[in-house]
Chain A
Amino acid sequence: MRVQRMVLSLSLALTGLSGCDVYERWDGEDVNAGPVDAQNFPPDYLGAGANRQRAGSGSFTGARAYAQELALGHYLFSFSNSQLTAKAPLTPLTVRTGDKAVSAVPTPSAYVFDPASERPQCKAPEGYEFDAQRDDVPHDDQGIIFTALPATTYTPGVEPTWSYVPVISQVPVESGGQSCQGIKSEKSLVARQDVRVPLTTTASGKQVGTPDGTFRALAIIEPGAAVYRYTSTSTARDPATGVGLQKWGWYNQYLLAYLDGGTIPTQEVTVGGTTQVRMVTQKLYYPRSKVTVSTTQGLKDLNVSVGQGYDVVEAIRGEPGYSPVCEVFTYDAGGPLTADQLPKSAAEVVAKYGATLQKPVKNFGDRSPVGDAYVYCLQVE
């Protein structure tokens, strides 16, 4: 019996000791759980050439567009099918009716720290300087906390569809001296005492942030994907690392990357006694007449489409009239022109070919933005 008692007590002692936290590097709600797994991201958000089972295989390169005679790059994402086919009184641009979200246009909340400041007012480690080798993200900054990810279902033999659009509803967060990048999830954020968040209690009793009515075009992309800006030479990579244009935020403790297209201007429209909030667009033009293009087989006259480098938009980011949401028009330049001969500003398009402007027509089964009446056209800083 004495032996049995000893066996029992030793076993219990060991079990108690083993109760120490063996996952000590994975402790708490604010541990960095690594980059989000983008395997279920829609193809548009994995990047060009991506294999969704190989992280970092895709890349995003800004498509050339002109605005006010200047060449710039923008990143295009399609409207969702349900958004484009919204039935009246809704429009593809409607994001709120009354105080309710539009189910066809999910605009999940995202917590933005000190949005009125140039950068979040969080507390950086003393003497901190960013070290690209040591640090994944700057620790004198605080990434936006997202509450939803792009997702689709991949079924063999079936083209994937998705409802995700790169729009979030901003929930402002006022910093209160918390450590930078110390908050990595909504769950942790709403429980924190060192930040101030306007909160709402949902029907299920969960506390969530209250959006302030600001919509932002933030396209969550595969975090391993390189992002390049448009350059005039096809082989140059800018930045060479593919890092710098995307921004970094958090979802449920996971690190995510996004392209920041800026704030989406909105307007309120009353329809049938109900106030709708609609996104305000800028216009995007491209030629439906053929363009003379230099190919490996020499010069050829080809049909082009949106995002192929012949787009013209009205405004540059930061200037009046800019919106990361574009309404698409085509124009007929009258015959094959070279890229240099095509207009480089919206005013020129309207002046020269205004009479030919038409809405594009989407081909049946085409999943790309080509032919859509609207497209997200993010210019990143």
Chain B
Amino acid sequence: MNSRNKKWLSLALALSLTGSGVALAAGEQNGRITGKLLEAGTQAALPGVTVTLTSPALIGGAKVIATAQDGYFEATSLPPGEYTVEFSMEGVKPIKRKLVVRQGETSPLNISWNVESAIEETIVVEYESPGTRPESTQSGTVLSSNSQAKLASGRSYQTVTQQVAGVSGGANPDVRGGSSIMNRYMVDGLDITDPVTNTFSSNINFDSIGSVAVITGGMEAQYNSMGGVINLISAQGSDEFHIDASVYGNHYLLSAPAQYGSNVYEGYRPFDETVRPPTQGYQGNVNISGPILKEKLWYNLSYQYTNTQASVPSGPPLNAQGPNREFVGHYLRGKLVWAPGTRSRVTLSAMGDPTSIDFADNNGSFANAYTPFASRRQNQGGWLGTLIWEYFPSDATTIKAQVGGQRNTIEAGPQALLGKKAFSSQEGSEYDAERPRHNNADDGSSWYNFTRHSIDDRYTLQTDLSVARRGVLFGQRHEAQVGFQGRLVQRRYWQKLPGDRTYNDRRGGAGEAGLCLDETTGVGCDQYTETPEYRLTERGGGFGVYVQDRWKPTDWLTIMPGLRFDYGTTRDSSRRIVSQLYGFGPRLGAVVDVTRDQKTIFSASYGRSNETLSLLAAANASPGPLSTTYQYSTTKKQFEPLLTSGGPGGTQVDRSNHTSPHSDEILLSLRRQVAKGTGIGVEYTYKVLSNIWDRVETNYIWDPSGTRIVGYRDGVARSVYMITRPEDNWVKYQSVDLVLDGRPTPELEFYAAYTLSFRYGPGSESMGQVGTGISQFFNPRQQQFFTGYAYGDTRHQLKFQGSYTWKGLSIGPGFTFATGTPLAKRYQTANNTTGTILRSPVGTTPGAGNDPLQVAEFRTPDILTVNARVAYDFEELTGQKFTLIADMFNLFNTATPTALLRDDSTILPNNFGQVSARQQPFRLQLGLRYRY
């Protein structure tokens, strides 16, 4: 067989694996080094030179490859870390270069070697990375544990993602126009995205994280995400034994007090000396790693204990200090890496995060509205494990297989039932688990019990298979990858209401005296809803297959065509098929080395992602129990049935529609090295999110004003939701990001970003997961209000994180500035079923009513947060790596509102626009870290 046929065969073999079910991994965990070796004087290629890569991160010994005819070399599947690359040739003194490999990125290494200077000493040179990602269309960055160790952060992978350009929102971030439920979270290649809510599902010991890649756009075909990808790699062992232990404490006496007025313009209350439970947190963790068998088998074990407490000052309606919210988490993790030979690597990773949250809602205004008996306790957490096998039959081929699973549970229920019972005497009566909850609509207070006791179990099984084959075809370099990604998901849900019912009382006056406790008097009696105990199980499965090529027609041009196909199907608890979705996701990217020196890079890409597998729809479609709402009759002095919801027939599915929610993205990027190890980039993103999931109410007949339900299409007083993906449920996003990212010296690091963005369109909601809380498909009379700037729209963002280290002293300042995001003013209606309505587009208030010219944007205030870490490493003084850490959060103690009351409500009337949450005041956190 001639060499040309061999090349075709290689590529065909790789492609054929798609159909046979073999495939690739989802989250890229490795990096690569590529470059060209040229003779310094003649600039002639140096073929056949031995390239030896060594790294503490590389198990199984050194990786040895050779340069090709054109001097090109490429080392792939390199675990992230610091690498030393040695170029050697018989009779010539070798040269060495040192550089960092980051996950999912290519580290370029172009060398001009003066082979005639045989007398030259071997010098290890720290290679100057251009900081331009010269072979990638992907945007985003990699946050390494080393960099994060110099910054004051929330010490969780969820919060540090906010440091990246184009990321806004909270712990489940909005990434480049995608909503908080459109991201994919991966841990060691395992997709841990919650199968129902599409949010993160696990907490992880922060110091056990090796690095977090936050990919915000321009993704290659192995990724399928309408939002961003948060790809986390846990730390692994090495041939050296290491201990990394630390404690952090944020005692409440080290925090500024938090007594502020309720209006936006009202600041600190100097005379309010209200004593309240502390808002504080503690954390301790230990990480141990090392070899079991040197160069063969490494381990890494870690444990973190987290205790955070939060409180809010007492206030209306109860005016009694609510108990603290107390979050206690235990994060365990273990990782084994085994190299059975030089050509394979096996990784076993497992973790668990059992957590309890007492008075789970008491970090917000609920603390003042819920009596302790009516508070919620949450037990959550689970485990996950994954096994990865990487096989390198040749330098040109990588085969990877991964299997994994996860179980995650959230149990929520009455605080007195699941948690601490010591408070039970505070209310002057014994807790009764069967006593129904009463909500007093007159003052917003809640009494006697939490609404429900529920256990929500989510299960995921995943397999990823991939083959990558590198070679030269028609004289041009290709790297083809094919992959298969399979996922099975299940949700099991159980729920019971105390007393099987919940009362919504009104017109009885404020407090307990206004509750409907005696039907014969009718005081406070309005409605109650009866729901029997029930269980649900939803299941789904799906797969994605993809092919991705990385084609280099010339040294300065890389073209990356790709295509993926995704399919997913879900069933609800009645075993009804809720969705059978498929979608093709073409990807096309090009990277141009404009100045031919990898210092100026232009890239452009288009990609479509399809969300074909989500149990969110199935969970909404599950018929659930038949809930009956009863209305109090003041004439008969008794409750009478008003309407029912749920039960068989309460939902419909759109089986003939196979269009999946999808995103289309165009990303243009220009990047330039401006200093040693420092790049500046500007990126333009245009993204359209289409056919977003929602539920369309089909049975209500509304009065012309959209205020009252006046009839039912099927004649039965109930809601009927069509679970579907409406064509007019879309969002568009445009942005320009300006990013400066650099490490010009080992002592100095910084990342600065400015983002100008626009997010608009009617698709703010997704079955109540995000947005106004009102779906545009609930009330057709309201549909014109779902337009304009969408939830999450943040016009300007400015971010900076940096650190400078000098003789053991490290200073790491950081700040984020973000303009406000849209809110919607909501108006109460008379009917509990209809709830609230809008009177102007989402993101606005109607102003002085009944004049469209008075409609004004309504957003949260702009917010600036400045944090800083100061740390001193005693290694120079003591020889031991003790580090004393001081983290200062909200350095300027700004108390900018982060949430405003948005309802025109009869409860506490005229409180629209008042502050419901502010920035946490200045707090100082002290830490001590020891590394061995």
Instruction: Please state if B780 and A134 are interface contacts (CB–CB under 8 Å).
Output: yes
* A251 to B851 Cα, complex, angstroms: 9
Q: A55-B830, A242-B710, A243-B703 are in contact. List 14 more A-B contacts (CB 8 A).
A: A3-B670, A3-B680, A6-B670, A10-B670, A22-B787, A26-B785, A31-B852, A51-B830, A53-B909, A136-B781, A223-B705, A224-B703, A242-B703, A251-B850
Chain A contacts for B682, CB-based, 8 A: 3, 6-7, 10
Given contacts A22-B758, A26-B841, contact A35 B707 (CB under 8 A): yes
Chain B contacts for A53, CB-based, 8 A: 827-828, 904-906, 909
Instruction: Please state if A11 and B756 are interface contacts (CB–CB under 8 Å).
Output: yes
* A224 to B828 Cα, complex, angstroms: 12
- A373 contacts partner chain B, Cβ-Cβ < 8 Å: no
Chain B contacts for A3, CB-based, 8 A: 670, 672, 674, 680, 682
* A26 to B760 Cα, complex, angstroms: 13
Chain A contacts for B674, CB-based, 8 A: 3
Cβ of B385 to closest chain A Cβ, rounded Å: 44
* A183 to B830 Cα, complex, angstroms: 30
Which of these binds chain B: A36-44, A92-100, A268-276? Answer: A36-44
Chain B contacts for A254, CB-based, 8 A: 850
Which of B674, B707, B762, B780 has the most C-beta atoms of chain A within 10 angstroms of its own C-beta?
B707
Residues of chain A in range 166-192 having any CB-CB distance to chain B below 8 Å:
none
* A360 to B680 Cα, complex, angstroms: 86
Which of these binds chain A: B1-9, B247-255, B510-518, B832-840? Answer: B832-840
* A14 to B177 Cα, complex, angstroms: 15
Residue of B nearest to A8 (CB): B682
Which of the residues B668, B701, B760, B905 comes within 8 Å of A133, measured between beta carbons?
B701
Could you write out 26 A-B pairs with CB less than 8 Å apart? A11-B736, A11-B756, A13-B684, A15-B756, A22-B787, A23-B787, A25-B784, A26-B787, A34-B837, A37-B839, A37-B850, A40-B849, A53-B827, A54-B828, A54-B906, A55-B837, A132-B711, A133-B700, A136-B705, A223-B705, A223-B707, A226-B703, A241-B710, A241-B711, A248-B704, A253-B852
Interface of A, secondary structure class, is: loop
Cβ of A143 to closest chain B Cβ, rounded Å: 10
Which of B684, B738, B850 has the most C-beta atoms of chain A within 10 angstroms of its own C-beta?
B850
Chain B contacts for A54, CB-based, 8 A: 828-830, 906
- A266 contacts partner chain B, Cβ-Cβ < 8 Å: no
- A117 contacts partner chain B, Cβ-Cβ < 8 Å: no
Residue of B nearest to A9 (CB): B682
Chain A contacts for B850, CB-based, 8 A: 36-37, 149, 251-252, 254
Which of A137, A149, A226 has the most C-beta atoms of chain B within 10 angstroms of its own C-beta?
A226
Residues of chain B in range 695-724 having any CB-CB distance to chain A below 8 Å:
700-708, 710-711, 713
* A317 to B1 Cα, complex, angstroms: 102
Cβ of B916 to closest chain A Cβ, rounded Å: 19
Chain B contacts for A11, CB-based, 8 A: 736, 756
- B846 contacts partner chain A, Cβ-Cβ < 8 Å: yes
- B786 contacts partner chain A, Cβ-Cβ < 8 Å: yes
Instruction: Please state if A136 and B704 are interface contacts (CB–CB under 8 Å).
Output: yes
User: Which residues of A line the B interface, CB within 8 A?
Assistant: 2-3, 6-7, 10-11, 13-15, 17-18, 22-26, 31-37, 39-40, 51, 53-57, 132-134, 136-137, 149, 223-224, 226, 235, 241-243, 248, 251-255, 257
Residue of B nearest to A27 (CB): B787
Cβ of B640 to closest chain A Cβ, rounded Å: 12
CB-CB nearest 9 A-B residue pairs: A224-B707, A57-B830, A241-B710, A25-B787, A35-B705, A56-B707, A37-B849, A22-B760, A223-B705
Residues of chain B in range 727-753 having any CB-CB distance to chain A below 8 Å:
734-736, 738
* A51 to B852 Cα, complex, angstroms: 24
Which of the residues A6, A26, A39, A224 comes within 8 Å of B705, measured between beta carbons?
A224
Instruction: Please state if B830 and A14 are interface contacts (CB–CB under 8 Å).
Output: no
* A17 to B758 Cα, complex, angstroms: 10
Chain A contacts for B837, CB-based, 8 A: 34, 55
Chain A contacts for B703, CB-based, 8 A: 56, 224, 226, 241-243
* A173 to B160 Cα, complex, angstroms: 63
Cβ of A187 to closest chain B Cβ, rounded Å: 10
Instruction: Please state if B684 and A137 are interface contacts (CB–CB under 8 Å).
Output: no
* A243 to B713 Cα, complex, angstroms: 16
Chain A contacts for B684, CB-based, 8 A: 10, 13-14
